[in-house]
Structure 1
């Protein structure tokens, strides 16, 4: 994101089944995040995963994008039947761990901090690219 990007806040609305909203709220509570912060974080994490999978060179083997998602899905489905939500939960656990590790490292290196006033994580002194 460039330094001149519009950082004002805008509402985004979506509709999900009640059970899914409840699951998201519970997960957000476990992570000590607001539901808005949780959804924003998961969308951004998903976008990053999608961008890397679509921008990497095509793979000639059964592991397109090099992220082993195809193998993981096949292994899970070989052992049992999953609903979409169960399958998503099973494969997204790794991104949660990676995000948690990354946030911890960035906070340790004083590059980001959690700010309730700003509604979530924020860079320290406008540090966006580590310079």
Structure 2
């Protein structure tokens, strides 16, 4: 383990519907894990589906291109029934947060800007007159 890796523990709080907490607890019990250990493990496993892809997509596997959307939908539906809107919210929340952070970072680095005149985001220096 790297000396620079901080292994001290910090608390993370989140709020979920009661039915979901109960499902997580039942699943953790089945796996002989504490609920904290279960949530930590599931978050880490879920993050792997959102890693950037640096190489050409691999279309030979069961998850071409590394897109974990199918796995995420199946994981969600394994515990309950979801409406279209609920599924959309569950799978898009992380993408929305990541897009917001990325846009903020790109603007802070002066690589893009929001242009009301152009009706959205644009590359800095991308248009004549910039």
Using the size of structure 2 for normalisation, the TM-score is 0.48
Greater share of helix: 1
- The higher-RCO structure (CA 8 Å, 6+ apart) is 1
Using the size of structure 1 for normalisation, the TM-score is 0.47
For the pair shown, which has the larger CA radius of gyration, 1 or 2? 2
